[in-house]
Every structure is written in structure tokens, then in C-alpha cells.
Amino acid sequence: MKSPWINNYPEGVPSTISTDGYASLVDLLEQACKRFGPRTAVQSFGVGLTYTKLEGEATSFAKWLQSLRLEAGARVALMLPNVLAYPVAMFGALKAGCVVVNVNPLCTPRELGVQLRDSGASVIVVFESVADTLEQVTDCDGLLHRVVVSPGDMLGPIKSSVINFGARHIKKLGPKKPMAGAWPWRFVLRLGRDLSWQAPNISMDDLAALQYTGGTTGSPRGAMLTHRNLVSNVLQVEAVAQPALGALLPRPLTMLTALPLYHVFAMTVCGFYALHAGMKSVLVINPRDRASLLHAWRKDPPHVFPGVNTLFNALLNEPQFSTLDFSSLRLAFGGGMAIQQAVAQRWVAVTGRPLIEGYGLSETSPVVTANPTNASAYSGSIGLPLPSTEVCIVDEQGSVMATGERGEIAVQGPQVMQGYWNAPADTHNALTPHGFFRTGDIGYMDEQGYVFLVDRKKDLIVVSGFNVYPSEVEAVVSSHPGVLECAAVGVPDNASGEAVKLFVVPSDPSLNQEAVQEWCVRELSRYKCPRMIEFRAELPKSNVGKILRRALREQ
């Protein structure tokens, strides 16, 4: 298979990566902790854990897990926002030879129950403010141990008391009542420190995480990510970041981590990669709390800022954002959803740095492609395949299509999952006859190997036999100065089969349907123009801020 993208890698980016220097993901993290011991690894509310302290606390949690005499590969669910306990619990679970199951703290009791039962989780570490959700879950007999993390845990006695009081009594985020039989996080760590430790034998092909995704069907499925998958993606990200960040400096770089670590993009990039690179990761507990995010940026101006289009857009619409210090910023990396040109242009005008767009999925650990990180402008592409990664465009039968033709993006590489947990049929259907993973995304590749994302296959709107890609409609509408956010979906129509319905969050209160319609008529073919326009105060979003078209269709 031809790989034209390799010729377009920036100088210093290798065509392949090797994992030979690591025995497992745990080994990669332990090597980082030994190499960067006194540096700050993670920081929250101004309190930091050094690499040495992080490993020590993770080992305490691992020893406690080991004392439970769980089966090899036992599942440990983490239902936490970005607090210090999260990287400790993640690292500790892996050190104990367990499999991490990331859970969105905002999920409902039904959604939580599905993940716990399907994964067979034996232990859950849950944030105090969402413990009531766990209490409502039934039929999880395999869930034997529950650990509760308080907002102020690991922040020191004084700050811990202040944070806990504010969360429980001012913001009213505490549980209705204490969870019976649950272990407090601080008590678990204290117990673990005094226990003996026998490091388990962990191989690169062992399962490291079950990352649940709705996939193309909407039903949650656990993508089985091995230690090799995640180590590979960390090294791939390191390779493509090198042109922007250079060799590791004696002075550590700072990454501002506003994306939730339970999401696969943040887990790999803000979690594992940041630790591997010796960075200080400043955790923002709630990215929707713009005041806290701006405060974190002002206090620790980042060198690296991963985000998604909606987060970049929201920051640009904050009056105080333009007053921040951008002199340290070397890499603003976007994924999770398409970066809109209007947002990218405003970002570089305000910060002086371009948004570097990448692409990935839960099933690919997640990063598949990325634009050269030394790029100076927005390209409209999702970039070049990462080192050791093959990407092609296939038709419905899985046959490779010609350069420039639109089809389904398919991927092969060391970061591609082992398969879907408990779903062999889904795993089989997700692969082409040649063993490439079918992403469910429509795109094309140009002669230089740059991949362009058109839209999700399931979101395609067919109007009178013509294909309408929602992202094109949204890109046009979002460029209107009076529009903050928008989303386009297909709705049934007797005359044309489907019609485009547009949802708009205005930034200008005077914006009306006629103005939006006129804008669309000027920029889009008639069949692509929305038949219906609905104004809303906000749009439904995923845990990383991705607009949920499926939720809009269902509504």
C-alpha cells in the first residue's frame, strides 16, 4: 500500500515508532516517574503531586487493590472528574494488573448500570457528588467494593476542608446521605501504604482499559485497549508533537488539562503522554466553569492546550480570554470533533498560534491522524496518518477507493483496539476484508496523503437523492457573526425524503430566522439549505463538549 504522507512529515518525525523500550504501559509511566521524580506531575487547585509522590500514592492504591485478592485483569471503574485522585487511581489500577473502565460522572443510573454490568467491574472509585447515581444502580452483584473520593481529597488538611465545605454546603454537590459500606479514598491510601507489594506480571498484550463508546449503533460497547495500544499511541503523539515542542527541556512544559481525563483523548494525551514527556498537567475540574479555566491559564500559562471546537469557541467568546498571556503557548491541539474554519481563524488572530487539528476514535487509543505541529495556518484537513499507521478510503464492500474519492475512512496500526468486549459480531463487522478498522466516518485523501473528514456516515442527510453533509452546513452557518453554535440534522420529509433542520444558539439577540436563511441561500445550494430553523439557549453536548446530533434527532 502506498504511503504518500510519509514524504510530507516534518523533519525529525519518524515513519515508524517502536515500543521495544517498554514492557507495558505501567513500565512507561514508572520510567517517567523515575526520570522526572522531583518535578510536578499533576496539579489541582494550586496543589501539586511530584512524579515521585504520584507513583508512591498509586502504589498504595495498587497494594490495596491487591489485598482484595481480585482475579487477574479485574475491572476497576473510575467515575471521577479531573481531580488529583484520578491519575493516582488510574496509575494504581494499572500497576495492580487491573483493567480501567472510564465512566462519565454525568451518566445516568441506567447508563452506569449498563457499563458496570457489561464490563464486570469489581471495584468503582466514584466522586462524592455523583455517589447518588451509583446508589440507584441495581443488578450489579459483581461490584464488590466502592471507594468514594471527596472534592478536597489530596489537597492538604486546610484546603481540603475549605473545598469540601464549599462543594457540600455552598454548591450543594454532596450526596443525600453517606454511601453505606463504601471506603473513603484517604482511608484506602492510608491502608495501602502499610501493605506488602508483589508487582504482577503485565505484558504489552494484556488489556489496559475498556473505553465505552456508542459507536455507529448508539449502543455502548467497550473498546478493548491493550498496554501496547496505549504505549504506541503515546509514542506516536510524542513523535508528531516534536516539531512544535522540540526536545524535552530542563524546564518542564505545562499542559492545561480542561478536557475530562475519563475521555480517551484526554486520557492518552493529557494523561499518559503528558506524564511520559515530564510535563506538569494542570487539572481543571469543570471546563464549563470558564472563570476557573481562565484563572488556571492566568496562573500557569500553558505550553500545550488540547481542546475541542466548542471549547475553543467558548473561550474566544469570553471577553477576558484575549487578555491572557499566550507567549508560552506552543501547541493548541484540537480533536474530538471537526475544527471549524471560523473558530480556527479567530483563534490564531487572538493567540498568535494556529489550531492543530487531529482525528481519532475510542477504538484507536485514540489518535489516528494529525496535522504537522509546526504548521502556521489552518488547513481544513485532519492531517497525515501517524507514524506506523496506515489509512485508506474504502467503499461499502471494503475495497480501497481512488485518491480524492469520498468513502469510509479505514485504519490499521498498533493503536487500533483488540476488539469490542463481549461483541465478536460487532468486532467482525468493524473490519474490512484486509483487517482495517472501519471508522464510520466519511472522508477522502489527497495526493499528498492528507485526510479530509467530511462527516459521520450515520449523520449523512439525503435530500431528494443528494447527499448533504451536516458539517458543511454548520461550517457555513457558524461563520455568521451572530451565531455562537449550531447543529444540522436530517428530519423526515414527504416530498424530499429528508430535509435539513438547523438548531442555532445565537450570540446576537437580534438574530432571526430570516437572516440565517438568507445567509444559507447565499452560501449553499438550495437542497442544502435548512427547511426549518430552531433557536435554542444551548445544544446538547458530550462529556468533552461535542455537539450531540443524535440527541437533537431524538428530540
Delimiting residues of CATH 3.30.300.30 domain(s) in the chain: 460-554
Q: Above 50 in pLDDT, residue 127?
A: yes
**What's the pTM?**
0.88
C-beta of residue 257 within 8 angstroms of C-beta of residue 284? yes
Please state which CATH number belongs to domain 44-202: 3.40.50.980
Q: Which residues of 134-161 are buried (b: 16+ CB within 10 A; e: fewer)?
A: bbebeebeebebbbbbbbbbbbeeeebe
Statement: residue 17 has pLDDT above 70: yes
Read off the pLDDT of each residue in 34-53 and give the average, rounded to a whole number: 97
177-198 residue pLDDT tens: 788 889 999 999 999 999 999 9
- As given in the structure block, the three cell numbers for residue 206 are 494484556
Question: How much is the mean pLDDT over the chain?
Answer: 93
Q: What is the predicted pLDDT for the residue at 554?
A: 85
Q: Determine contact, residues 62/36, Cβ cutoff 8 Å.
A: no
pLDDT value for 462: 83
Torsion of CA 281, 286, 342, 245, to 10 degrees: 0
Q: Which pLDDT band holds residue 216 (cuts at 50, 70, 90)?
A: very low
Instruction: Assign 107 a pLDDT band (cuts: 50, 70, 90).
Output: confident
End-to-end CA, the chain: 44
Locate cell 450489579: which residue?
140
- Tell me how far apart the alpha carbons of residues 518 and 533 are, in angstroms, rounded to a whole number: 12
- Look at residue 526 and tell me whether its pLDDT is greater than 90: no
Residue 142 vs residues 77, 124, 531: alpha-carbon distances, Å: 12, 11, 50
- Per-residue H/E/C for 89-149: HHHHHHHCCCEEEECCCCCCHHHHHHHHHHHCCCEEEEEHHHHHHHHCCCCCCCCCEEEEE
| Joined grid coordinates for residue 540 | 446538547
Q: Which fold has domain 4-16+224-456?
A: Rossmann fold (3.40.50)
Share of the chain above pLDDT 90, in %: 81
In this prediction, residue 214 carries a pLDDT of 60
- CA separation for the pair 401, 225 (Å, rounded): 29
Question: Tell me: the pLDDT tens digits for 422-466?
Answer: 999 999 999 999 899 999 999 999 999 999 998 888 888 988 777
Domain boundaries for CATH 3.40.50.980 within the chain = 44-202
Walk across the sheet containing 254-257 and list its strands: 47-50, 40-44, 280-283, 254-257, 304-307, 331-334, 355-360, 367-370, 384-385
Tell me the CATH class for 460-554.
alpha beta
pLDDT of residue 220: 80
Rounded distance between C-alpha atoms, residue 22 and residue 413, angstroms: 18
**Is residue 246 a contact partner of residue 304, using CB atoms and an 8 Å limit?**
no
* Residue 248 pLDDT exceeds 70: no
Separation in Å, CA 231 to CA 7, 167, 435: 25, 36, 21
Question: Does residue 218 surpass a pLDDT of 60?
Answer: no
Asked if pLDDT for residue 31 goes beyond 90, the answer is: yes
Cβ atoms 75, 119 nearer than 8 A: yes
In this structure, what DSSP letter does residue 430 have?
A: T
Provide the pLDDT confidence category of residue 247 given band limits of 50, 70 and 90.
low
Cα 460 → chain centroid: 23
Q: What is the pLDDT of residues 376-416, one digit of tens each?
A: 999 999 999 999 999 999 999 999 999 999 999 999 999 99
pLDDT at res. 217: 41
Q: What percent of the chain has pLDDT over 70?
A: 98
Instruction: Determine how many CB atoms are found less than 10 A away from the CB of residue 67.
Output: 14
Min mean pLDDT across 127-136, 206-215, 442-451 is at 206-215
Domain with CATH 3.40.50.12780 in the chain: 4-16+224-456
